[in-house]
Amino acid sequence: MRFSNSFLDEIRDRVPISSVVGRRVTWDRKKTNVSRGDYWACCPFHGEKSPSFHCEDRKGRYHCFGCGVSGDHFRFLTELEGQAFPEAVQTVADMAGIALPQPDPQAEKREKERTTLLDVMEMATRFFQEQLQSAAGARARAYLRDRGLTGRTIETFRLGYSPESRNALKEHLAGKGVPKDQIEACGLVVHGDGIAVSYDRFRDRVMFPILSSREKVIAFGGRAMSPDAPAKYLNSNDTELFHKGQVLYNFARARRAAQAGPGRKEGGTIIAVEGYMDVIALHQAGVENVVAPLGTALTENQLDLLWRMTPLPVLCFDGDGAGVRAAHRAADLALPFLKPGRSVSFAMLPEGKDPDDLVKQDGRGPFDRVLSEARPLADMVWQREISSGSHDTPEKRAELEARLKQIVSVIGDENVRRYYQQSMRERLNGLFQPARNSQQGQGFQRNFQGGPGRGGERGQSGGRNTASSGRGLGASDRLVRSGLVRGHRELPALRESVLAMTIVTHPQLLLQEYDEIASVEFESRDLQRLWSCLLTIAGRAGRNLSAEGLRAQLEENGFTDLLKAMNQQIRNARLWTATEAADPQDALQAYRQTRALHSRNKELRWQKVELEREIAETTDEEPERADLLLRALLEVQNEISRLENQEAIIDGFGVLSGRIKGAAISHG
């Protein structure tokens, strides 16, 4: 029985490949990361003692780095268990809870018709390619040359040219024996009621073939050569083969790049840009993991395609007003579908620049720097809302809070929604917290990004007092007075420096607990920027990530002073577990303890702010309620103090184990 590709894709998507493979192997507990769908085992195809057989649910593939076998659900069953292909399909369908399709002569007929239409699209592609190299295509070749495209790139993307004729393609295909109804079914001609004679849809245009996930030509995009053309870019209309909102340009090639080995820079991530030429220019510069929607705003189906390839795609938009508006639409589109470990980030290009401009002169370096500054979805939502006007009255602040609550309420996943609500509360608190330094009394902080009224590097949770920073603030003061800190108005709290520097010096911990480590939120603005850059670098490097390479790239991105200052801060506090001298296991245990303290401290401080707000809102007629709130506030304050004292436990952690790599740590 012949199964349609859509049916096979459906059952593959419904059944994690680990469920199929897991029936025959035992997963290695140390290397496997279940939360990320990343599994390792000893290969069932050849005998081995250490696990080199890798299985990824996100990709739906397995691969053994020892013997080289690889495949999908069906290949595993046919090659290891000896099942016939229909039997393997039946096995996976049963696991998915889907019945096999009954033989359908009409469906089989449509499948054959689709295959025939694909043949017609291939013939059209070759015709356009030939025309580009002919005398008629001279102007189109000059255009592509002016855009900086090489012959190799033009061939890779199979670019072509549609002649300035109403029937050149139609007559070419008819001469090859293609029936009129097939030419029309492919969307290659304009036809229908009121049109006596059909004519070529694409005329005098540079042609961009659009491929399916199986790398078959299913549609075209055409860029007009004439400035008087009514549409600069024109896509194929929807057909049996093509539905515009369900396809991404360069999808198959980008997916291969994202699934490349860990040695490849682009491995694991996908970038969505705005147009065909952006994709092609970036590919030529060495950035191959790039896709584009087809001339329209990103759709739900296209976003789902991105998430099939990577849990955190980067959406790259122009820095002008239209690009910012497109980014905001994409943010609203993504919010309802967020899940743990699944989101989007936003890389905004300099105003007036597109990817082609950035890579034409200096290669991929400038574009990589834009990617390293990609902002999380929560930041985009927050920045949009606080930029919508002033918030200098209680009514306007209440309006902002209500608007943020409404925006966050659409998130479908309960846990993600709760954390977004918490994040927005903390940001509101930081925005409206009265300044506690020499600027106190000058009003609320009106500029969350910095500048007058900000009160120093307070971050998202408002002012930081001596009690909250504990020994970290004292260390910061000493470093500032000694002149060791330059270019940073205030060091991060010691706790935050420990969290960041532990990963900088022991980046292999990311491979063990990536989700938990990547989710850490810092109050320090400097650390927020460093952390975003660090995660981007780690995502590209994969398992090749090293402490030396990570530090070098962070320094290239302008974090040299911050790294030196935090390193000195940690050494002054004698917290050796955050340095390269620590044994990785001690570093991991200390990191977990510090992270728990950090999370609990943030939670308590938010409770404190909420209780203070409720107390301020009580009236004289509510003495009992006020008394209860005051007692609760005292308990929270005592717990905060207890936690600050408990931080001393971090000092000397692991000293008794004596596991120090190399020489003793320097304290100066």
Nearest CA-CA partner of 585 in 640, 659, 636: 659
The pLDDT of residue 202 is 96
Across 336-459, where does the E strand assignment appear? 345-348, 375-376
pLDDT tens for residues 404-413?
A: 999 999 999 9
Highest mean pLDDT: which range of 255-259, 331-335, 589-593: 331-335
pLDDT tens for residues 132-178?
A: 999 999 999 999 999 999 999 999 999 999 999 999 999 999 999 99
Helix, strand, coil % over all residues of the chain, rounded to 5: 55, 10, 35
The pLDDT of residue 287 is 93
104-242 has the same fold as 5-96: no
Question: What is the rounded average pLDDT of the residues 45-58?
Answer: 86
pLDDT interval class at 590 (50, 70, 90): confident
The CATH class of the 104-242 domain is alpha beta
pLDDT tens for residues 476-514?
A: 343 333 333 333 446 788 888 999 999 999 988 887 777
Lowest-confidence range among 98-112, 256-270, 541-555, 608-622? 256-270
The pLDDT of residue 309 is 82
pLDDT interval class at 105 (50, 70, 90): low
More confident site: 625 or 456: 625
The pLDDT of residue 283 is 95
Spatial CB neighbours of 468, under 8 Å, sequence gap ≥ 6 = 493, 601, 605, 640, 644
For residues 37 and 16, the answer to whether their CB atoms sit within 8 Å is yes
Question: What is the rounded average pLDDT of the residues 275-298?
Answer: 91
The pLDDT of residue 589 is 82
DSSP code of 247? -
The pLDDT of residue 433 is 66
Residue 26 sits at φ, ψ, to 5 deg, of -110, 120
Nearest CA-CA partner of 417 in 345, 338, 341: 338
pLDDT tens for residues 425-473?
A: 988 988 886 533 333 333 333 333 333 333 333 333 333 333 333 333 3
Strands 290-291 and 271-272: parallel
Alpha-carbon dihedral 509, 510, 515, 518, rounded to 10 degrees: 110
- The alpha carbons of the chain give a radius of gyration, in whole angstroms, of 29
The pTM is what?
0.56
Spatial CB neighbours of 162, under 8 Å, sequence gap ≥ 6 = 128, 131, 168, 169, 200, 202, 203, 204, 205, 207, 222
Q: Which residue has the tokens 């029985």?
A: 1
Domain ranges of the chain: 5-96, 104-242, 247-387, 393-463, 467-668
Distance CA 346, CA 310 (A): 14
Q: What percent of the chain lies above the pLDDT cut of 70?
A: 83
pLDDT interval class at 265 (50, 70, 90): very low
Task: Please say if the pLDDT value at position 233 is more than 70.
Answer: yes
User: What CATH number belongs to 5-96?
Assistant: 3.90.580.10
The pLDDT of residue 311 is 87
The pLDDT of residue 662 is 41
The pLDDT of residue 585 is 83
Distance CA 381, CA 472 (A): 31
The pLDDT of residue 447 is 34
Neighbours of 341 (CB within 10 A): 15
pLDDT interval class at 1 (50, 70, 90): low
Distance CA 650, CA 590 (A): 7
pLDDT tens for residues 362-375?
A: 788 899 999 999 99
The mean predicted confidence, pLDDT, of the chain is 81
The pLDDT of residue 217 is 95
pLDDT interval class at 574 (50, 70, 90): confident
For residues 455 and 439, the answer to whether their CB atoms sit within 8 Å is yes
The pLDDT of residue 658 is 38
Q: What percent of the chain lies above the pLDDT cut of 90?
A: 38
Question: What is the rounded average pLDDT of the residues 624-651?
Answer: 67
What distances in angstroms separate CA 595 from CA 31, 415, 503, one per listed residue? 22, 19, 12
The pLDDT of residue 291 is 96
Nearest CA-CA partner of 603 in 631, 651, 630, 643: 643
More confident site: 196 or 455: 196
65, two tokens = 């780095």
Length of the chain: 668
User: What CATH number belongs to 247-387?
Assistant: 3.40.1360.10
For residues 657 and 586, the answer to whether their CB atoms sit within 8 Å is yes
The pLDDT of residue 454 is 32
Indicate if the alpha-carbon torsion angle 486, 492, 493, 498 is positive or negative.
negative
Question: What is the rounded average pLDDT of the residues 252-268?
Answer: 65
The pLDDT of residue 111 is 60
The pLDDT of residue 319 is 78
DSSP code of 459? G
Lowest-confidence range among 40-49, 294-303, 326-335, 625-634? 625-634
